[in-house]
Chain A
Amino acid sequence: MTRGDTEHFARPSAARFIEGRGHYVADIVAAGALHAVIVRSVEAHADITVDVAAAKAAPGVLLVLSGPDIAPLFEPQPIVWNVAGQRRSGLRALAVGRVRYVGEPVAAVVAESPEAARHAATLVRVDYAPRPVVLSPDAALREDAPRLYEDWPDNIVASAAWDGGDVDAAFAGADTVVAGSYVSGRVAAHSLEARAVLAVYDAAWDGVTVHTSTQAPHQVREAIAHCLRVPEHRVRVMVPDVGGAFGSKSCPYAEEILLAHISLRLRAAVRWIETRAEAFVAAVPGRDETVDLALAMAADGRILGLKSLITLDKGAEPYATSVGAAWAGAMMMTGAYRIENVHVGVRVVVTNKTPTGAYRGYGTPEVNFALERALDEAARRLGIDPAELRRRNFVPAEAMPCPSATGLLLLDSGRYAEMLDLALKAFDYDRQIVLASEARAAGQAAGIGMAFYVEPTNLGPSALCGMIGIRSGGFDVANVRMEPGGQVVVFTGQTPMGQGVETVLQSICADELSIPVEDVTVIHGDTQACSYTGYGSGGSRGTGIGGSAVMIAAGKVREKVLAIGAHLLEADPAEVELTQGGVQVRGDGARRVSVAEVARAAYLAHSLPTGTEPGIEARATFDPASLAITYGVALARVEVDNETGLVDVQHIVFGHDCGRQVNPVLVEGQVVGGIVQGIGAALYEELRYDARGQPQVLSMREYDIPFAADVPRIDLVHLETPSPFFPNGAKGVGESGVIPIPAAIANAIRDALGDRAADIVNRLPIRPENLIKY
């Protein structure tokens, strides 16, 4: 790719963003809008009584709601991911009688101004009768542990196990067993735009338009309609520009339901803007998972068997994406490797912390960290180069599509060994080993590390979604309409959030119709304009699934353009082609009509081929046959300061294959952005709690994300191996970067510091205070 291409692939929205004309929920001007403030629990676990009398009497206040007010009016929130046997909490938008984490919504105050709402919120009196707290799965799983839900037999939301082969025999026959407990800390997706909702009553259709910063407009509409017992056509969800999401905006939230209720009830517009302090306790964080893993190894480096137990700290509520991350982890546990004998268990446990949800990677980074750390220890113990050990265990390209031993994962396509070799060469691997070794001999704590990864993308097959408990289908719908002037409007259920999916869909449509991209407009984020889609944007599915739907719909439009064009040319439809914005008789440029002329004829309808409907529009649904498995490898060079323990990540080489790259500039942006988030999770970021369950992070001052100066030299290398299951060959890319980076950095630190770091680096984030040599 040359630099000149960058502008070719640029997004239509980019110039607008640079000029400061982005348009996020908080930027929408709504005359006379009321302001809502949510009063949140300040205790981690307590019975509560709420007195709103003083708040109601405050100046400028129109409405104050608490749990008992809404309990008879609101249905419990739907659970987005609902596996067999999963326990329910009956969660409503405001806590009823009991709170289970700091930040849980207790009351909503609606006033004429933000100041009046904030003042009245301080007058809401909440009496707390504290209960004992549980803050870790270990504590929650003890027999005498306090229960979060009295009607549950324990604190387990759900558990399951899968087997393949004969794992006991494999371990009995092992030359060595490598085992460890690998912890991924609790981290925030931390989009720079926090959440925001503006609900506007519309008298014309006696309904509510909910403007919200979300990845899943149809799911938000579904939740609002269900919880408020309102028909879906009275709720319109609109999504303006979204200032980052990374999974955290993929579930419906209590605030969206509350604001819709308030708007319908008061027949008014009402706004809620999340503060950063709220975002740290009220938006769903990710990870907080421990993977206990044992690998049975043969002396020649083959993995004979794998046993693992995935324990996800769900926080206080099983709602939203709930247990899915642990289930996804079980699916991805065996990674890129042929492992015949497997046992994987999962358990999801409630604690008195903010409920975890989706965050970029969604279960895969956690198991990748465990597996790639363990493989590194295995290589050391067996005296085999870590790259070679991985190579000996890869599923070979010719064996694909290849199911995992548990049957949970189908590796669809990929050239794993070729990818590894490509990245090793770019890293100058053999020389880096020597350099690190020489640096250590000179007293420097220098090291290199690697991690290979596979990533489940193009989340779909609706049947698979049903099997694994996702409450929606996995298909996507596109409508493509050619206007009488020959320009085209694409309606999609996918939602841009910075990843640029709108640009991808625009170019797919333009290519299919051989018209300029400027002639294609993509409409998104509007449940009234766009058809219902199974799952919104998430699971790295925009290009593969949304793009395939657009491609198929645009293909139908193309067929009609060709048929009408042939009719106008009085030619046999088999003899015409669509090229450079026109239909022409193959090999005869003189017999040609432009797409615009065809469109005009289609809408004029004075003379159309027999049986042809006037107008040109088409709808297509795409429901994939399988997931698409993106894969790659990260190599890292680090140096640790022996005095301070600070880790200097000096170089990262990232090898990556997401199938056909529809837009290489956006692919690069996704991978690099993910890598840097991965560095944050590996070294800096953690949402900590004290022993009483009080969150220790309420400001960005307490949550270190990477800044520009923290970013090392990053080199990318690519392969493009198309997925056999997608018309456009594209696999997803959104989550790749974050997945292998923690393991690659941990392995590099382990290499730098030797055996003393073997256990320290198994817990993320790897903090400098733990690396100082005393």
Chain B
Amino acid sequence: MSVPIACAVNGRDVAANVPATARLSDFLRDTLGLKGTHVACGDGVCGNCTVIVDGEAVRSCLTLAAQCDGRAIETVEGVAEADVFPAIRAAFLRHNALQCGYCTPGFVTTIAAMMRDNAREALTDAEIGSRISSVACRCTGYVSIVAAARALLGRSE
């Protein structure tokens, strides 16, 4: 069964008929060719496939494409064009906050959503840590990623 959806992906209008069972991650990767969204566990645990839907970081492997009718979706490719991105890129390079790069889009989207959060000033250290803990990395040991995120949120290093 197919479901018609109309949504905005990285600021562009997209209309498609999607299988009712299609995951957002598959729709983004296979239908739209946005390969920056990486699926690592497919179970909603690792957060590598995180994208931003209506301003919130969500796991695209646990989201059905059919649920995205009328929504605004932003992938890492979209974040890379956004105002917040030059700072993100600089902080990631400065802190060496990546190694193999597979999980990196998940952190970039998660951190971009935090940077745009109106309540970002009020986030406690524990909350920042908790949100970063929504994405799995096997290479870096996280220290550099947390340092980059804290710098981007205006916290001391």
Contacts and interface: CB of A to CB of B under 8 A. Distances in A.
Nearest to B30: A114
A22 B132 contact: no
A88 interface: no
A190 B48 CA distance: 14
A19 interface: yes
B96 A668 contact: yes
A363 B98 CA distance: 27
A20 B76 contact: yes
B27 interface: no
Among B38, B76, B143, B145, the one with the most A-chain Cβ atoms within 10 Å of its Cβ is B143
Contacts of A155: none
A758 to B, nearest CB: 29
Nearest to B106: A192
Interface string A1-44: 00100110110011111111111101101000000000000000
B48 to A, nearest CB: 6
Contact of A192 (B46, B94, B133, B141): B46
A40 B43 CA distance: 20
B42 interface: yes
A555 B140 CA distance: 33
B115 to A, nearest CB: 14
A22 B129 contact: no
Interface string B45-87: 1101000000000000000000000000001110110000100
Contacts of A14: 92-93, 96, 98, 101
Interface stretch (A241-249, A289-297, A764-772): A241-249
Given A6-B96, A498-B99, A708-B129, A244 B139 contact: yes
Contact of B138 (A24, A242, A244, A665): A244
A499 B105 CA distance: 18
A3 B94 contact: yes
A244 B108 CA distance: 18
Among A18, A22, A276, the one with the most B-chain Cβ atoms within 10 Å of its Cβ is A18
Interface string A175-208: 0000000000000001111100000000000000
Contacts of A666: 96
Contact of A243 (B41, B45, B89, B100): B100
Contacts of B145: 708
Contacts of B38: 22, 24, 192-193, 243
Given A18-B98, A193-B38, A669 B140 contact: yes
Given A6-B93, A10-B96, A18 B108 contact: yes
Given A669-B96, A699-B45, A700-B41, A714 B141 contact: yes
B152 interface: no
Interface residues of A, number: 58
A699 B43 contact: yes
B15 to A, nearest CB: 23
Interface in A664-685: 665-666, 668-669, 672-677
Contacts of B43: 276, 699-701
Given A276-B41, A699-B43, A669 B142 contact: no
B133 A673 contact: no
A497 interface: yes
B90 to A, nearest CB: 9
B57 to A, nearest CB: 14
Contacts of A18: 80, 88-89, 92-93, 98, 101, 104, 108
A7 B93 contact: yes
B139 to A, nearest CB: 5
B6 interface: no
Given A192-B46, A700-B43, A19 B140 contact: no
A497 B100 contact: yes
Among A14, A499, A699, the one with the most B-chain Cβ atoms within 10 Å of its Cβ is A14
A769 B40 CA distance: 29
Contacts of B135: 707
B20 to A, nearest CB: 13
Interface in A639-692: 665-666, 668-669, 672-677
B46 A700 contact: yes
A155 B90 CA distance: 55
Interface of B: 33, 35-38, 40-43, 45-46, 48, 75-77, 79-80, 85, 88-89, 92-96, 98-105, 108, 129-130, 132-133, 135-146
Given A23-B35, A668-B96, 15 more contacts: A10-B96, A16-B101, A17-B104, A18-B88, A19-B36, A27-B35, A191-B100, A275-B42, A276-B42, A497-B100, A672-B143, A706-B141, A707-B135, A708-B129, A708-B142
Interface of A: 3, 6-7, 9-10, 13-24, 26-27, 29, 190-194, 241-244, 246, 275-276, 497-500, 665-666, 668-669, 672-677, 699-701, 705-711, 714, 737
6 contacts: A6-B94, A20-B35, A22-B102, A191-B138, A708-B133, A714-B141
List 10 tightest A-B contacts by C-beta distance, closest first.
Answer: A20-B36, A498-B100, A17-B101, A243-B102, A20-B76, A676-B141, A498-B99, A700-B45, A27-B35, A672-B141
